Structure 1
């Protein structure tokens, strides 16, 4: 069955014209019996915890729902595969990558290219890239004031941010260790540029290298569809195994027109549509 992949709808905080555009896209594709894949941040329960209840009418029981980093209360998958196409939200490529670096440094404390903060954190406990999901669970327990302090680089009260980060760290250190992928290879280095000292990147080569490290099944695929970045991409990239893979990033900021991917029965992306 052909499918359409929608990422970063952010229902609850997105502008009304985006909601209408999503509705129009769904009405057309459901009439064609197209399977719908929601690729993360479908709702925004981190900012408005009622968003799932308000907009659940847009989802149908047969839809595939992949969880993103703003889908706190929602049930769903972390990734899905259709033929040779891997679909995942993409938050593991920055948030998860941060924890993956700690896991690698914990295994080998002599690795070069790590910050003093990372070296301190690596000594505190064992880490896994999937510990980021524990972080999401902890974030969901924050009060509105704590969430604001966590989310904004310059909150009104800097002391509140320090208290919030301290609480997050204490909760993380006491959380159960989440198992790493059994075949977790060497983690790509942190390169200059990008947001937050390079942890957040829009560089296609870096994104694909991180994806190959953190999603082992991607090596069996020739296309990766992500969202999360709010930055559309559609590129072919030569990877370290000599294979050329297609990287597609869907979604856009909540006040902009977004993109959706159309995938055929064999898992081939046939069209990228702006809506």
Structure 2
């Protein structure tokens, strides 16, 4: 299927690695020019060079910014050009008992996981509406629907992200602009891999054994394994394309069947 993305330009937050980088690569592979983003300028530049080598023929650039730092966000919003596609992917996650989640932790998670998308949409969505075409995709999580007891702050921030995406979609009536979310399931991103390796070391088991044990605790998973970043990226890329024109205001599940609801 031709996703008709040649000539489009996309900005993907949190895209120097993991799901964000996989999304940038998928978009570039379909002919879109991409702008990468991450906290570390050196890692962003490395990701830009890697993607340029992997997908020659499209424009690849980078804009580093830390979404937990107000000055960085303000600078980014001044530098970011008009784009056709905005992928709100940047996010934090951690396992933490509820009683240990401080007010500062709550603020940080909403600052990065929720307000990043709010600020970028506020900057970029008016131009999409003026030009008559655009795509905004929020990379949320099944944890925003089924809140994990061991990371309530993360799950709650992902619920808020879904609400923002649904509300923004209502502003697009009659325009060829769509706003959707992807409900990713347990994905073996770089951050998850680091957590799994740490847990494996602490319990003196192999990484594969730790992965199997974690997935084994998820009794509802139909996939029976971690999702790979490119599998989330493929869904995001489809939603970002012209061929997904009739999907708007939706939360599309790429959760490996972890959620048990019909819808």
Tell me the TM-score normalised to structure 1 length: 0.33
Task: Give the TM-score normalised by the residue count of structure 2.
Answer: 0.35
Structure with bigger helix share is 2
Larger radius of gyration: 1
| Larger relative contact order (CA 8 Å, sep ≥ 6) | 1
